[in-house]
Amino acid sequence: MRKQVIKLSEKSVKLSPVFRRNRAPRYSAAALLWRGVRNDSWPRVWREPPLKKSYDAVVVGGGVHGLATAYYLAANHGITDVAVLDKAYLGSGGSGRNTAIVRSNYLTPEGVAFYDRSLDLYNTMSADLNLNVMFSERGHLTLAHTDSAVRTMRWRAEVNKLQNIDSSVIGPDEIKKIAPSLDTSPNTRYPILAALYHPPGGTIRHDAVVWAYARAADAYGVDMHQQTEVVDIVCEGGDGPDGKGPGAKVTGVRTSKGDISTPVVINCTAGWASLIAAMAGLKLPITTHPLQAAVTEPVKVFLPTVVVSGSLHVYVSQTDRGELVFGASVDPFATYDMRGTLDFTEELAGHVLELMPAVSQMRLLRQWAGLCDITPDYSPVMGFTPVEGFLCDVGWGTYGFKAGPVSGEQMAKCVADQATPDLISPFALSRFDDGVLVGEKGAAAVGH
Amino acid sequence: MLLVPCPHCGPRNSADMSYQGEASSRPDPSSTTPSQWRDYLYMEHNPAGWLKENWYCSSGCRRFFTVERHTVTSEFREPPLPGSKTALPLSKTTETGADTDQQGGES
């Protein structure tokens, strides 16, 4: 029923041969029962191999994007001599800190096509990767509190409908039917005038996505090295110092556990992207901002959809355990500091109560922050760079999680074909030279 | 939240300020190539360490000023004076307000 507007290479992801290997036993209810009855312990999910001296490709950053790239390199293109390096543990960055919301109701046709493909991959991920990622397609409401916001919603809905995305503008009465806990009365400070309703949106268990990709990539023979920090990227032939900079060619990576020689380095480090790019002598159009989130104590399930309010800078969903997960907009200044702040909590609480006065007695359990790599046009930077062999999949800002699978798929294709796939060509670094920016701020800045 | 040291108003909550980003000097339009413009407009150093940056005291004195901030520890210090290579510790500026008036008012 859905039409792909930008044609993808339909090399479908067939995983059956992978799990014939012993080290990745198939997960199933029968296996659970069998092991439960026999009181067997489960084997380790992925290996911890020693660092080799050389790899065909090195992925820096072991989050959803890095692991998906490594996985699709192996699964779709047969490139299995790949290392994934992470300075901490897999999924320790944004992949484990986001609010786990997925959707595809973006504003630009490029963005819509891209995220819709991602949603498709998320839809079939549990079956494809044989790990339950708990995808809950519960619908996504983006509230509009001002006339201009209603206009943007209508615009987004029309762009979405043209691409066959289920997305429509609904009024307060319908909103009240979908989410009765929302205060849709006209007597609030910011009355809810309308909402963009996107039924295919939902939430997914972000840790499970990381584990699923790691496990599947490991089964193909991809090496994952945790606690392995990249300290330098070795280049030759460039204009800058040490042969780095535009025109250079990557020859290897220096890590805290030893040197690796490799012709391809893929930067999937999100908030730390500028630091890795600087090691190759490149500057990126990226600033790093923290995005804070918080979670309440669990209560009975009362909120059936994801609710987002751009004007109130808040998005909220309820987990299967019953906790409300809140997120907000990024802190307004660049920093690598991930401390939570009181003014975030206060502002968040005020805005949530504005939307749902009934939760006033709920208590917050904890808050945290993740680092977001924000670009000037709120679209990512993907594909080749002026340094040969150094590729980027960065600039994901506050919306990287929902794009993880498709980014990995397309970056793998980019590396294997040595050409930029159509789907990510709008997001090339060279768009800043050419002045062809992809403005997604209207749909990406707060709405998650 | 940050306590941003405005040279005129003293330490103020960052919510009273408007962040203006990395401090870089505008290239000369008569001799600038497109790629230099691109660099000036879009490219950022984005270091994990000391960063020279501009703030606008939008709810206070409404002046622009430049400080150095450590982007990991969130400490502030005065940017180095022209011709000097070392940064000044910030405590000096809060003691001698007159001194800071001369260097703070960059537009």
DSSP conformation letters of B3-46: EEEETTTEEEEGGGSEEEEE--PPPPGGG--HHHHHHHHH-B--
- Average pLDDT across chain B, whole number: 80
This prediction has a pTM of 0.88
Has residue B8 been placed in a domain?
A: yes
Tokens matching residue A142:
């983006």
Which domains are seen in chain A, by residue range? 47-285+376-448 (3.50.50.60)
> Is B101's pLDDT higher than 50?
no
Helix axis angle for A147-162 and A109-123, nearest 10°, is: 70
Contacts of A287 in chain B (CB under 8 A): 21-22, 44, 46
Between CA A217 and CA A212 the distance in angstroms is: 8
Cα end-to-end span (Å), chain B: 24
Give the closest-approach CA distance of A244 to chain B in angstroms: 16
Give residue A447's Cα distance to chain centre. 14
Establish how many alpha carbons lie within 13 A of residue A56's alpha carbon, considering only the half-sphere containing its beta carbon. Answer: 15
Has residue B103 been placed in a domain?
A: no
Has residue B48 been placed in a domain?
A: yes
Query: Considering only CB atoms, which residues of chain A are within 8 Å of chain B?
Result: 272, 274-275, 278, 283-288, 332-337, 339, 341-344, 376, 432-433
> Is B96's pLDDT higher than 50?
no
- Tell me if ipTM is over 0.85: no
- B43 and A275: CB-CB below 8 Å? no
Contacts of B44 in chain A (CB under 8 A): 274, 283-287, 334
CB A216 within 8 A of CB A26: no
Q: How confident is the model at residue B90 (pLDDT cuts 50, 70, 90)?
A: low
Closest CA to A15 of A89, A76, A62, A85: A76
Instruction: Give residue A345's region: left, alpha or beta (phi > 0; psi -120 to 50).
Output: alpha
Tokens matching residue A266:
């893929």
Closest CA to A380 of A310, A313, A308, A437: A437
Instruction: Give pLDDT tens digits for B30-75.
Output: 999 888 888 999 999 999 999 999 999 999 999 999 999 999 999 9
B53 touches chain A (CB under 8 A): yes
Tokens matching residue A19:
């799990």
Has residue B102 been placed in a domain?
A: no
Q: How confident is the model at residue B83 (pLDDT cuts 50, 70, 90)?
A: low
What's the pLDDT score for residue A446? 52
- A332 and B19: CB-CB below 8 Å? yes
Contacts of B69 in chain A (CB under 8 A): 335
Has residue B106 been placed in a domain?
A: no
Q: Which residue has the tokens 């150095």?
A: B68
Domain count, chain B: 1
State the greatest distance between any 2 C-alpha atoms of chain A, in Å, as a whole number: 66
Tokens matching residue A49:
């191999």
Has residue B101 been placed in a domain?
A: no
Give the closest-approach CA distance of B94 to chain A in angstroms: 23
Mutation target to probe the B interface, by most B beta carbons within 10 A, among A289, A335, A345 is A335
What's the pLDDT score for residue B106? 37
Give the closest-approach CA distance of B14 to chain A in angstroms: 9
Between CA A32 and CA B77 the distance in angstroms is: 58
Cβ neighbourhood burial of A320 (10 Å; 0-12, 13-18, 19+): exposed
What's the pLDDT score for residue A111? 82
What's the average model confidence in pLDDT over B24-32? 89
Mean pLDDT in each 10-residue stretch from start to end of chain A (448 residues)? 40 40 72 88 89 96 96 94 96 93 87 89 93 94 93 92 94 96 92 95 95 94 96 92 92 96 96 95 94 95 93 91 91 91 90 93 93 92 95 92 94 95 92 84 54
Has residue B107 been placed in a domain?
A: no
Contacts of A339 in chain B (CB under 8 A): 74
What's the average model confidence in pLDDT over B72-98? 63
Has residue B82 been placed in a domain?
A: yes
Give residue A341's Cα distance to chain centre. 24
Q: Determine the structural domain holding residue B16 and report its residue range.
A: 3-96
**CATH of residue B65:** 3.30.2270.10
Q: How confident is the model at residue B87 (pLDDT cuts 50, 70, 90)?
A: low
Between CA A124 and CA A302 the distance in angstroms is: 27
Beta strands A390-394 and A265-267: pairing type? parallel
Closest CA to A412 of A63, A118, A13, A74: A74
- A284 and B19: CB-CB below 8 Å? no
Contacts of B3 in chain A (CB under 8 A): none
What's the pLDDT score for residue A191? 94
